Amino acid sequence: MKKLMLCVVIITILIMSTASAGFFDFLTGKAIKEIDFDNAKPSIISKLFNRNYCIDSDEDLIDPSKEKGRVLTSTQTFEDYCIDTNHVKEYFCPKGLFKRSVFGSKTIECDADEICEDGACIDSCWDLDSGDHTVRGETIYEDPNNAILQVATESWTETEFVCELGALGYEYYTCQEDNLFGICLNKEDEWDYFMDWLQQKNYDPEIINYYEEKYENLDVEYSEALVSYSVFGNQIRDSNSFFNTYKNSLQNEPITIKLIEIYPLEQDWIYKKSSEQVADTLNQQIENYLQEKADRISVAFGRDIELEIEQITINYTEFFFCDDCDYTFVSQQDIVYVNNNTFLTYQEDYTWVEQNINGYIEIGEFIDEQRLYFISEDLVPLEPGATYVFMGGISPDNYYLGGVPQLETGCGADLYDSRVMCAEVGVAYTSMVHELGHLLSLPHSVVSGDANRPLGLPTVMFGSFDDWPCADSSYWYDEDYSITYAPHERYAIEPHEGFEDVEEFVYNYNEALLCP
């Protein structure tokens, strides 16, 4: 009889324990997941045995300091909190059977690249090269005075950007070899790598000898400018960047580049010409127009590039005409010529009407201020490698909107946000190759930023034809040749898996430059 009674009691307790977090916790030392902390109460079993209990919301995490947790006991609740910017007070329940009647706490120090915020250690700084002096890496960090993430790229002599207590810091070092563009390297070794690469790709000996002459030039800045392309090609960039997407792409793997047309939500704007309208003026279907341009870009990049149009609508008033933004207006009236409902540069072979503009936005004055709104308010999607055009040309109040930093026409590249902004659609494929080259870290192909000192080979990155009498800029548009990137630029941008079209590209480049 006693055994029967004991069995009944045990079965009853087990049944009741299915709804009893406290009893399960009492037996196993583990909390049941997804506890409703706000409505949790001591279980019947806990009351029956007058048993205290303790449940920790983040005890299953490998590192509980990464998440703000709560500890629930039979009498009160405790939340993790920040002691200061680098330490968190972490509450926990003791492990093991019959040890859940009390709770504990400890102080945890956040990692060097973290700060304590709202009861957890969070990343606020990312050192992408982990302090490696042989790699030109980016350090991404939060600035309390700025709404967007900041990026520091190593370029100072013997100075490494690092994370210290969740903020940008500096570490000074001494290179055992050459220090160039912020990293330690052996300049002669890097040059030998490049020369070997030229031979492997079958560039003509005349081109290879030309590089040798430039490298041996008495002006050391020439040789350093050429070696810098080895540095540019081996950077560590943010994973959410066109650079990272392209460098890690596989052969035969398509890369989609979006052409984003941004229209105003407000009515009565006079629009700029759309991609479809540009294609129509060329008597092409939009699909054929995009494919033709994508094919030419694909040759330059050695990848299958696909172009895709995306049209979105945003509130221009919120984006451009906000009370907190600084505008500059010209005092005299301007006249903009308008063809139907599109904004175009004036051409005499169209029918035009005059549009009086009472003032216009000075592009260079407002774009830096507005860029904060572009990122922080998420008014438009941030697509790595995408080209953006604000399609509103003339506002209902007769303001002309260009939409490119310091330019009213053309395009500008934003390396760190990994995007291209153009004043209008329909730019030549060479302009896209040029700006996308900047997103891949390619500078203009000159020495120390001096346009009068080109590195000497034809390229869409502002190289020179002067030393190559058989070639001229018409080769940029000739489908049979590949005057897009010069060999030192292709060396820098080559994906880790190699180019798809290397033999054809090199053959055409040799043919274009050399006299028959």
Q: pLDDT (tens digit, 9 = 90+) per residue, 408-437?
A: 557 888 777 788 888 788 888 888 999 999
Identity at 403, one-letter amino acid code:
G
Cα–Cα distance between 57 and 71 in angstroms, integer?
A: 6
Mean pLDDT over the full length of the chain: 75
Check whether 444 has a pLDDT greater than 80: yes
Helix axes 502-513, 205-215, angle to 10 degrees: 80
Check whether 82 has a pLDDT greater than 80: yes
Classify strands 150-153 and 446-447 as parallel, antiparallel or unpaired: unpaired
pLDDT for 314: 84
pTM of this structure:
0.70
Start-end of H helices in 100-204: 187-200
Most confident of 82-91, 159-168, 177-186, 451-460: 451-460
Pull the structure tokens for residue 204: 């003509």
Helix axes 205-215, 220-233, angle to 10 degrees: 120
Cα–Cα distance between 283 and 296 in angstroms, integer?
A: 19
Confidence category of residue 247, pLDDT binned at 50, 70, 90: very high
Instruction: Return the closest-CA partner of residue 359 out of 325, 392, 335, 323.
Output: 335
Identity at 153, one-letter amino acid code:
T
Q: pLDDT (tens digit, 9 = 90+) per residue, 322-375?
A: 444 433 333 344 555 555 455 555 555 555 556 655 554 444 443 333 333 333
Q: In residues, how long is the chain? A: 516
